[in-house]
């Protein structure tokens, strides 16, 4: 990793559930969301949401929790991308969609569901509104995480599928969630695609997250914020991947309070060092 110490922060990329969305209904949590919105405006940052949610469920969260409207939404764990246009509406990035479809090696969502349900007993496909052309999602009991991980990896290897999976845990129910995506497509690669097209340097991006499907984005050379409620696996993987620990902020605050403190840390660092 080659991070320049005086690189200006230009972008806040944040996960939603467990991260930007209030984790408790307290005045402090909601105040932190508002404060983040002000910091984004004050520092002329680009705000992007990077989430496992669909575009529709992202908008539901924006309305329900009064979140600021982002410049782009990287949804479905980085497999779908929407950009805000000048009139405030969002348009899907069809170039991105086609680039990913070209990498599926002929596999379709329905084909993946059929093949995996036959092979891995503990998996249940999520509802149709959680499925996309590029993301195939399953639920499983979290006590089966080791066997699910092993069996899905074996299936991918046996058929040499150009696919990969991410596992995370539903913060509300505690149950397991698995997404199958084209290989090398994840929150990190989506942010990288977004940044490259805008000539934005990775070191100028602050990424905040809380769980397993954030690992790829935490370990890609962005500045990182781990919220106080982040799971242990993500903590360990992020710490190991960071060449320079000063680019990692381990927040004590949960959810948006942690994101706010982490963003302020990274903004202050550039002031002190530039
Ligand atoms: Mg999350």
Cα–ligand 1 centroid distance for 86 (angstroms): 29
Cα–ligand 1 centroid distance for 19 (angstroms): 6
Q: CATH number of the domain at 104-182, please?
A: 3.90.1070.10
Cα–ligand 1 centroid distance for 79 (angstroms): 16
CB atoms within 10 A of CB 64: 10
Task: List, as one string, the DSSP characters of 75-139.
Answer: ETTTTEEEEE-TTS-EEE-HHHHHHHHTTSTT--HHHHHHHHHHH-TT-EEPPGGG--SS-EEEE
Tell me if the domain spanning 11-94+185-273 has CATH number 3.40.50.1820.
no
Q: Where are the domains of the chain?
A: 11-94+185-273, 104-182
Cα–ligand 1 centroid distance for 106 (angstroms): 30
Cα–ligand 1 centroid distance for 158 (angstroms): 31
Cα–ligand 1 centroid distance for 167 (angstroms): 12
Cα–ligand 1 centroid distance for 159 (angstroms): 30
Rounded CA-CA distance 223/217 in Å is: 10
| Mean pLDDT in residue range 203-217 | 91
Mean pLDDT of all residues in the chain? 92
pLDDT tens digit sequence for 229-244 = 998 888 888 888 887 7
pLDDT tens digit sequence for 138-191 = 999 999 999 999 999 999 999 999 999 988 888 789 999 999 999 999 999 999
Cα–ligand 1 centroid distance for 264 (angstroms): 20
């Amino acid at each position: 990793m080659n991070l320049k110490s005086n690189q200006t922060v230009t972008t806040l990329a944040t996960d939603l559930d467990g991260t930007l969305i209030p984790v408790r209904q307290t005045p402090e949590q909601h105040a932190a969301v508002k404060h983040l919105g002000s910091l984004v405006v004050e520092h002329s940052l680009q705000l992007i949401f990077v989430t496992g949610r669909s575009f529709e469920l992202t908008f539901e969260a924006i309305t329900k929790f009064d979140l600021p409207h982002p410049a782009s939404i990287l949804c479905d764990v980085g497999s779908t991308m929407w950009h805000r246009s000048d009139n405030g509406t969002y348009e899907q990035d069809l170039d991105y969609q086609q680039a990913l479809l070209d990498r599926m090696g002929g596999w379709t969502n329905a084909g993946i569901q059929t093949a995996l349900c036959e092979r891995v007993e503990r998996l249940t496909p999520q509802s149709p509104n959680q499925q996309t052309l590029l993301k195939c999602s399953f639920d499983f009991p979290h006590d089966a995480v080791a066997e699910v991980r092993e069996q899905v990896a074996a299936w991918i290897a046996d058929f040499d599928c150009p696919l990969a999976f991410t596992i995370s845990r539903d913060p509300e129910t505690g149950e397991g969630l698995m997404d199958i995506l084209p290989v090398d497509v994840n929150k990190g690669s989506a942010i990288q695609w977004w940044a490259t097209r805008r000539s934005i340097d990775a070191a100028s991006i602050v990424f905040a997250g809380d769980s397993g499907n954030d690992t790829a984005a935490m370990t890609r050379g962005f500045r990182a914020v781990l919220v106080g409620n982040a799971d242990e696996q993500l903590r360990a993987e992020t710490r190991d991947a960071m060449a320079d620990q000063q680019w990692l902020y381990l927040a004590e605050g949960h959810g948006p309070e942690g994101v706010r403190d982490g963003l302020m840390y990274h903004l202050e660092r550039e002031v002190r060092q530039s």
